[in-house]
Amino acid sequence: MDPSGVFPTSYRSDRRIVRTRWQALALVLFMGLLLAAPYLVSGRIIAILNMMMISAVIAVGLQICTGYAGQINLGQAAFMGVGAYTASILASKTGLTFLLTIPLAGLSAALFGFLFGLTAARIKGFYLALTTIAAQFLFHFAVLNLPSTWLGGSNGITVPPAELFGLRFVSESSQFYLNFAVTTIMVAGAFGIVRSRFGRAFVAVRDDDVAAGIMGINVAATKANAFLIGAFYAGVGGALWAYLIRFVGVDQFTLFHSIFFVAMIIVGGMGSIVGALIGVFIIRIIQEIIATVGPNIADSVSFLGGDIVFAGMNVVLGGVIALFMILEPKGLMHRWNILKSSYRIWPFPH
Amino acid sequence: MTYQSNRGLRGLLAAAALAAAATMPLKAQAEETYNLALLSDFSGPYADIMPILAGGREAVFTWWNETRGKELGVTLNYKNYETRYDAAQVASLWPGIKSELDPIAVVGLGGPDVAALSERLPEDKIPMFMATAAYGFAWQPDAWIFNPRPTYSHESVGFLNWMREQRGGDEPLKVAILASEASPAYVDMAKGLELYAEEHPEEIDLVEVIYTEVQPTDLTGQMRRVVRAGAEALVIQTNTSIVVAAKRGLQANGANIPIMMSSHNGLPASGGALGGLEQMEGDFEAYGMAIAADEDTPARQFYETLVADYGLEAPWNVVTAMGVSQGLYTVIVIDHAIEANGAEGLTGEKVREALFARTITTEETHGFLPSLTFTPEAPFPLEGLKVNVGTVKDGKITIEATGVDVPHVEKW
Amino acid sequence: MVYFINDIITGALIGLLYSLVAMGFVVIYRASKVFNFAQGELVIIGGFIVWFTTMQAGLSLWLSIPLSLVLAGLVGYAIERIFLTKLIGESVFSMVMVTVGLLILLRGLVLLVFGPAVRPFPIIFPLKPLFLGDMLIPMNLLIGGIITIVAAVGLSWFFNRTRSGLRMTAVAEDHVVASSMGISVKGSIAVAWVLGAILSTIGAMIFLSGKSLTFLASDIGFAALPVALFAGLESIGGLILAGVIIGIVQSLTTNYLDPLIGGSLGSVVPYIIMLAILLIRPTGLFGWRTIERV
């Protein structure tokens, strides 16, 4: 809901993402702060931001597939892996520039995702969601068993750093700008997708696929598209990951990683791009807190008592996710929206 | 950041350091302090052994500071970083470690540390010292990450050749290996042995290569194949659960083929998981590190010293031995670097040079490790490799053989 | 030839173990329309309960097995009460998502309560295999197979022939319609989780008897998943057939194909079969083909 006094007077203005001047100002400030971050905060924070932005790209893709189109996807880490491997192989064998490898990584992951999405023509409901787990196992099997000259097998692949006009993206801050640019494009694209014809088709299919079909939406194609877009995002995120870590191995893309991506969008809120970003932020922050305060706690508790504390940290993470789903099944974004609208319509209750 | 500005910054820092040093008492000037970053996993899959491993390596640093460090006028500070055994976490911690500690060496734990830092450390010129055996995929020249032990395949080949000699006769030793595709590391262990057996048919006849799950449902059928093929040894370097399932499979077949295990899934761990060490009677563990048995070895004596004087609380077992040996070769390399360059201005690069410059003798590591001669060709010593063999006799872990030579293994 | 037949029999029995674990999925789905991603974690929790009552508390098997089943049932009930009851009325989708959170939470709890060490699991079924001529049949799998078939027959009868079973089936059809017809959705879901936890505990006993227990054991949940989808998420009887087929194909693959390719095709072959069958029959062999109305 808009603040009072703001009325869209045309379809164009009704579709706007940035609706008021204050919103525009907040956005500019936020982006400006992020851009200046490498000059303001330490390398540790920049490294955390790098990891968050990469996760954000992948989680936003999952949000489109699961949150908007309603297709539970437990293969997002495998799709990310396909992207990471594509980028690594192209970069290390052909020396292609990252300007091409990143989109190509997205495309190859999209193709892999589309294959699973295609089964949507026949498979429905949970059956479809669960076939995405198969993607995870097949990816793992393929990497380890295809000739190791193809995908590196158990050796993994070492990735040369991204380079542009002789500038090597090695330091945290240079990688930050690479990730920032790609993440901005991808997130802006996501806003575009979800308010386009595709996005509305996604929501229609999620809410009721039979009704959507009657309204003239090609349900199977829409589901396949959802997987395609979700996987494209995962592939781009995977390519960024490859350029950040510069070593890819099949154990970086497991089912457990997929589950955590799902957890991120749950915490943030289903069906909201900003929600996906918030979910990434919260889960990564909790993980960083565990990693940061952990050793200090270990020092203060007696010997061998430490493992109990740390196991407790994992419970905290699981507990946060489970609690969110019980108390706030619609995610943090939902709560925020309620707060926002009650502020705007105050003093009226509705 | 360009080179120029980097230099400018360094100059500024040096000036600041000088100013700070001028205001400090004299004693601090005489003593140099360097930092070590310890990567740990207190909350991930290795949470159960981490406190023991960490205790082992930290006790060694305390010991070194109070003995050699005092003579040299150097103190080594260390700080544990929690990685959750996750490459993403290591990558996000690394810039902080660099700026906060400016370490001269990193003491690493496992695969995720290697994955996240293998391309970073050469750029930042900081070496990393691991505790485990190496892997084929990390076998590259000009390494910055080092292992005191050769690859798992080196260790199994060394053991198998020893076993063949014990048996006598000219025929090759019939061997089966049980691996898993759950982790690329497990595949790597099998691949190295497979290649060696292929190239040395007169030594090892690899009769079965079996892939299974990390928690197998039932291995009776697979073990029957191993028994029927006449295997004389079964190599399992994966995990404890597979050892237990294989043991049950062998028992069901009424067979008793000796199993060879590694350090992380060795006799105490597997025996414990089976419900009693006596069930591992006649099985072996083999690795290039001291075996934590009851015998009174130099390693055992050094451990007792650490317990008595340097606050080590961990029990005498393989995990402690791993922590202590990791700590030992790390401080000895640093020791060598100080002897070569003086106590001042030590950097990660100089530590790495010292590693290549001088052999770390087995006396220096109190028998925890064999003499280690590192070369720039590999992340582990290629020559003079040895493994130790432990077994269970009368329900107790004993040392069966020490200093067994490892033959030359081709890279796979 | 004898060994070939032996491999088929062992494979079928392993398949029946998958069926039993898959039955946990199906029972919960059948009674609440929720697909429980944390099924593998229920297996570990069951395993730890059994381990605790035997190895820690030192009870005899005759006492500890029934006690473990009761405790597992209580855990199932508690999970349902704490996590799922409040979500009745929300979409099924969010209930399924809760089970994803449950997966992470239960893993952490197991780590917190029992620690990450590898523990010996009690020997519940005789270690000595059954000898049939040259053939060896593992005793735990054989007895487990019989238990699985008995459980499947019993549960099929319960769901298809008894009043309370049919009520639960109605809940799976539609929560709102069921509750408007006076059926307690809450009660139905509670019974489902109690049953699911008990089945998982029996599965843990068969799976782990005489072996070791760590949280790696939860992988059995994902090994059993293809069996559940292959049979169809609503069919209990179909699980037996699906499990046997998948078990046999997997056993033959690991024993005859894997040595040739030098890899582990056996661990992914259930997923390949599952994908193939779903493309031919989108709701598995015996799953309900619902006609959707708007």
SS3 state of residue A283: helix
Q: Is C81 on the interface with A (CB under 8 A)?
A: no
User: How many Å lie between the alpha carbon of C85 and the closest alpha carbon of chain A?
Assistant: 9
Contacts of B365 (CB under 8 A, 6+ apart): B325, B328, B329, B332, B372
Which sign, positive or negative, has the C-alpha torsion A229, A235, A241, A243? negative
Angstrom distance (rounded) from CA C101 to CA C86: 15
Average pLDDT of the residues of chain B? 89
Number of domains forming the structure of chain C? 1
User: Are the beta carbons of A127 and C284 separated by less than 8 Å?
Assistant: yes
Intervals of chain C under pLDDT 70: 292-294
User: Are the beta carbons of A141 and C263 separated by less than 8 Å?
Assistant: yes
Query: pLDDT per residue over A331-347, tens digit each?
Result: 788 888 888 888 887 77
Measured CA to CA in angstroms, residue A151 lies from A84, A190, C122, C231 at distances of 11, 30, 42, 34
Q: Which residues of B touch A158 (CB under 8 A)?
A: 118-119
Cis link prior to A349 (omega < 30° from 0)? Answer: no
pLDDT at A277: 95
- A336 C-beta neighbours (distance < 10 Å), count: 16
**Which among B118, B129, B109, B110 is positioned nearest to B91, based on CA atoms?**
B118
Instruction: Assign residue C162 the CATH number of its domain.
Output: 1.10.3470
Angstrom distance (rounded) from CA B6 to CA A342: 52
CB C226 within 8 A of CB C270: yes
Query: pLDDT per residue over A49-79, tens digit each?
Result: 999 999 999 999 999 999 999 888 889 999 9
SS3 state of residue C208: helix
- C94 C-beta neighbours (distance < 10 Å), count: 17
Half-sphere exposure in the Cβ direction for A4 (13 Å, CA): 7
- Give the CATH number of domain B152-287+387-405: 3.40.50.2300
**Which among C189, C171, C191, C200 is positioned nearest to C22, based on CA atoms?**
C200
Structure tokens at B251: 């028992």
pLDDT > 60? residue A17: yes
Number of domains forming the structure of chain A? 1
Is the residue at A167 inside a domain? yes
Query: pLDDT per residue over A292-338, tens digit each?
Result: 776 666 565 544 444 555 555 666 777 777 777 667 777 788 888 88
User: Are the beta carbons of C120 and B274 separated by less than 8 Å?
Assistant: yes
User: What ranges do the domains of chain B cover?
Assistant: 31-150+296-381, 152-287+387-405
Mean of pLDDT values over B1-29: 43
Q: Is C199 on the interface with A (CB under 8 A)?
A: no
Which residues span the domain enclosing A132?
A: 41-253
Among the ranges A146-150, A227-231, C288-292, which has the highest mean pLDDT value? A227-231
**Which of C118, C142, C258 is the best substitution to test chain B (most B C-beta atoms within 10 A)?**
C118
CA angle B106, B112, B116 (to 5 degrees): 70
**Which among B217, B322, B190, B225 is positioned nearest to B269, based on CA atoms?**
B322
Which sign, positive or negative, has the C-alpha torsion A158, B358, B381, B372? negative
Query: pLDDT per residue over B341-386, tens digit each?
Result: 999 899 999 999 999 999 999 999 999 999 999 999 999 999 989 9
Nearest CB to C116 within list B48, B180, B215 = B48
Give the bridge partners for B234, in sequence order: B176, B259
Chains that touch C (3 or more CB pairs under 8 A): A, B
Measured CA to CA in angstroms, residue B25 lies from B30, B32, B72, B74, B75 at distances of 10, 13, 19, 16, 17
Type of residue at B27: K
Is the residue at A260 inside a domain? no
Q: Is C268 on the interface with B (CB under 8 A)?
A: no
Q: What is the ipTM of this complex?
A: 0.91
User: How many Å lie between the alpha carbon of B255 and the closest alpha carbon of chain A?
Assistant: 32
pLDDT > 70? residue A110: yes
Mean of pLDDT values over B73-89: 89
pLDDT > 60? residue B8: no
Is the residue at C121 inside a domain? yes
Is the residue at C127 inside a domain? yes
pLDDT at A304: 44
pLDDT band at residue A237 using 50, 70 and 90 as cut-offs? very high
Which sign, positive or negative, has the C-alpha torsion B152, B155, B159, B165? positive
User: Are the beta carbons of B95 and A246 separated by less than 8 Å?
Assistant: no
- B225: nearest CA partner in chain C: C255
pLDDT at A302: 47
Which of the residue ranges A122-131, A301-310, B69-78 would you say has the lowest mean pLDDT? A301-310
A residues 32..61 contacting B (CB < 8 A): 42-44, 46-48, 50-51
Which residues span the domain enclosing C32?
A: 2-280
Is the residue at A124 inside a domain? yes
Determine phi and psi for B233, rounding to 5 degrees.
Answer: -150, 150
Among the ranges B11-20, B384-393, C274-283, which has the highest mean pLDDT value? B384-393
pLDDT at B28: 43
Class of domain B31-150+296-381: alpha beta
pLDDT > 80? residue B239: yes
**Which among B317, B310, B277 is positioned nearest to B53, based on CA atoms?**
B317
CB B401 within 8 A of CB B293: no
User: Are the beta carbons of A72 and C265 separated by less than 8 Å?
Assistant: no
Contacts of C224 (CB under 8 A, 6+ apart): C18, C19, C21, C22, C24, C25, C39
Is the residue at C291 inside a domain? no
Structure tokens at C246: 């998948």
Determine phi and psi for B286, rounding to 5 degrees.
Answer: -145, 130
Structure tokens at B405: 């030579």
Is the residue at C30 inside a domain? yes
Angstrom distance (rounded) from CA A313 to CA A326: 20
Q: Which residues of A touch C279 (CB under 8 A)?
A: 119, 122-123
Structure tokens at B349: 């690069």
pLDDT-above-90 percentage for chain A:
47
